[in-house]
Amino acid sequence: MIEALFPDVINQYLKVFFDTIKDIKDFNPEIFQNIFKMKVECKVTIRRSKSQTDALKKEIKKYFK
């Protein structure tokens, strides 16, 4: 599993972006892509531990019910 931790500025843009989308037709891929073109440092972690990966997946799935 790959986990990416973004700086606050990216998180703020993502929050505004997703808070304004109420339907898939509202999704603007160009704006979404521009967020990831910002020049900031972020941390990427690759997890190889099955127990850590399973625990993280379980937490993420809570947001998609």
- CA dist 49 and 63 (Å) reads 22
* pLDDT per position as a tens digit, 24-42: 888 888 988 988 888 988 8
Tally of CB atoms within 10 A around 59? 9
* pLDDT per position as a tens digit, 9-18: 988 988 988 8
pLDDT band (50, 70, 90) for residue 65: low
- CA dist 63 and 38 (Å) reads 26
- Predicted pLDDT of residue 18: 85
Q: CB-hemisphere CA count at 13 Å for 22?
A: 0
